[in-house]
Structure 1
């Protein structure tokens, strides 16, 4: 899809934006993050941790009471333990997951955290004494940096898709700051990098168009071939991100490769090895997390459906309305290509919400929503429209309240997670 920045309101182009929005976003980001971190660190005042996984995980560490140590321990909760454990590696230095259920988590984040921690150890001349929190701290730093990048990317993307509407762009970016993903965007989780990469991927469409404009000598058939090739390469890269870990797992557990796979397979061959598509990812999601169509529809999960209801409603309602009439919400005011792009983003957002409602743990939708732009734009439009301002304000109040309460619950190992 060939994309160019919208032509209306050229005088308000992104390049002419003053430093005021950047300052506003920076101050809002620092204030919100400080608020969440204070709540997380103060969670110990509420009561003891519901689960002892974190204390056991850091059992080797010194009993330091430094702020960094406290922060690492308060934010290494739930799935963050898997990411940080994988970043540490096994005792023999192997990067392969130690436990079967760890294959549910992409190794990319853990490998990057391991690299960041190794660089920190080298720079700080640490040699294993009192540095067990480094991987967790690296994850926390990466989460904050990625979230900040996502906010700035969304601001820029909104300017491009609205013809330079500075107010709408600022509102959307501020909403991204207070995303209901909350403290998950501060902890060693994949949500912040996901949001940053998601918005960057959309923004790259404009960068590609700029390169094409610079190379105007390329004829139309050449541009079409370039677009097809780019889509093909992108698809292959996405597929490799899933296929490579599955192949590694198959060689380890099912044989057919080096690394002791044949010996391990001779001892015990997991049932997923015999499936038509031998995917360890789908197996552990099925066995360890009970993921599947309507499997979460049980009476004991009703509270989690109620907690997820506001975000599900926002995602589905905004996705549906923007899919029908993107221009009515101030998006893609003149460009057919922009309209198709916005509608595709709206459709994908609604599909993810519907899948959360039917097929996987519904409470994680508040975290996944952080990487989708349409609902931020929709709430921003509500705030700018007198007839819908009440809806926008209610959404903001919910986001702030949910983020604050969630920070306390997360830090004490209580759901939702």
Structure 2
């Protein structure tokens, strides 16, 4: 492989500083787009909830407030209008339960803190808009660093620094774009999901670390922590429950045909930890539904007094989320497959391809990463006992297994988006999944070398990835203008 460019080599010397600089640069670009984009081109809903003429507070303060209020108005679009009102007032209407309970609770708490700490009165609901923007951007920044560290765990060899840096850079440049700047939940969802993946990798390494006497208890703590992160992610966005597939696969594998060289205590701790983690992931979806059931069906708080019980209360699975998505948002199997939505499917096609192609790479490839295998240490003074055919004895085996498991949630998401969701939202939902970043990063760094060995040409895969990167950046910028102007699609 030819030597890397000087700028790239310099970036690898201080990757965190480079990622921070790139993140701040993208924020400057997005804020500029938001401020310069003409408004009221399509919808005036934002102006119904935000005061159009906030009170002036002196020359300098007035100019500052004018910029801040204008930026807030340009970033409060589409679902953000619901997020802001729910954060301020709570869930008052049935259809509002389509929006993440965990996200609106956090926006509400931070918004009330801003009101309490602010030296001057800020007209409502601006504090909740500020809260959403603050948490969204801070979460995205932290998720960039978590993804970098997660990738360093899975790619431990020296070249893992380059893979980690490119993967984290792609997360900064994700096509989610303005949705990671505005008061939306994608940034927080990515942070919680990546933290869950990080803890899950740590738990798996602890389980297979034969030299660690505390491996059984340590891995159980890590895996329960991963379950807790994915539970919170599920409260923020319902698709967070898909991360439970990772836990389910490992649980079934361990119960059915686990690693026989493990002591029964260590294996039992693994099974118990996975079981608790799986339950916790499920609670991320169940708890908000239980709160809604108490409000609309049980009438415990009195809010349902004098109101007829809703039809979804008596269903076998009394889920308000599934009900309002079906009734108010027309979400369902093949419902989006209409001639008028063909342009939206075309907009979603690139990221759908990337998600499915990278998932196939992870699941079907025997070595879906470049790091050299290294045998894990064995207990001192003991010979290695016979193991089951599925036993994982090298970091190569473990990392391959992890990448395959992490590919399953994003593959299921791509299938659901194509068949049942408003398909264009896959461009922002994809930001919270990791395998496609790894696939892009490895292809950018290694595809040319591999394919030149075969036919002396640059190779089709590298060309596809170059096109994909350009599309991600270009789409994010165009989408930012459309978002700030309140123009579809969203």
Do the two structures share a fold, i.e. TM-score over 0.5? yes
Match of 1:11 in 2: none
Structure 2 distance, partners of 1:63, 1:330, is: 59
User: 2:334, 2:419 within 8 Å by CA — same for their partners in 1?
Assistant: yes
**CA displacement at 1:396 relative to structure 2:** 1.3
**CA displacement at 1:206 relative to structure 2:** 3.7
**Alignment deviations for residues 190-233 of structure 1 (CA, whole Å, 9 cap, x no partner):** 11111111111010024446777696256633322332222222
Count the aligned residue pairs: 389
User: 2:12, 2:165 within 8 Å by CA — same for their partners in 1?
Assistant: no
**CA displacement at 1:70 relative to structure 2:** 1.6
Structure 2 distance, partners of 1:188, 1:332, is: 42
Match of 1:110 in 2: 104
Match of 2:44 in 1: 52
Deviates most, 308-317 or 234-243? 234-243
User: 2:50, 2:124 within 8 Å by CA — same for their partners in 1?
Assistant: no
Structure 2 distance, partners of 1:296, 1:405, is: 23
Instruction: Normalising by structure 2, report the TM-score.
Output: 0.75
Match of 2:404 in 1: 343
Structure 1 distance, partners of 2:27, 2:345, is: 27
Superposed CA RMSD: 2.3
Query: Does 1 or 2 have the higher relative contact order (CA < 8 Å, sep 6+)?
Result: 1
Extract structure 1 runs of 4+ deviating beyond 4 A: 209-215, 331-334
Question: 1:13-412 to 2 correspondence within 5 Å?
Answer: 20-44=14-38, 48-59=40-51, 62=54, 65-89=65-89, 95=90, 97-126=91-120, 128-130=121-123, 132-164=125-157, 165-208=160-203, 216-217=213-214, 220-254=263-297, 256-260=298-302, 263-264=305-306, 267-325=307-365, 327-330=367-370, 333=373, 334-384=395-445, 385-386=447-448, 387=459, 388-412=461-485
Seen in structure 2, the aligned counterparts of structure 1 residues 131 and 359 have a Cα distance that, compared at 3 Å, is: closer
User: 1:320, 1:347 within 8 Å by CA — same for their partners in 2?
Assistant: no
Structure 2 distance, partners of 1:119, 1:75, is: 21
User: 2:155, 2:369 within 8 Å by CA — same for their partners in 1?
Assistant: no
Seen in structure 2, the aligned counterparts of structure 1 residues 209 and 272 have a Cα distance that, compared at 3 Å, is: closer
Deviates most, 291-300 or 388-397? 388-397
Structure 2 runs not aligned, ≥5 long: 1-10, 57-64, 217-262, 374-394, 449-458
**CA displacement at 1:406 relative to structure 2:** 0.3
The higher radius of gyration belongs to 2
Match of 2:230 in 1: none
Structure 2 distance, partners of 1:218, 1:48, is: 59
Seen in structure 2, the aligned counterparts of structure 1 residues 134 and 202 have a Cα distance that, compared at 3 Å, is: same
Instruction: Normalising by structure 1, report the TM-score.
Output: 0.87
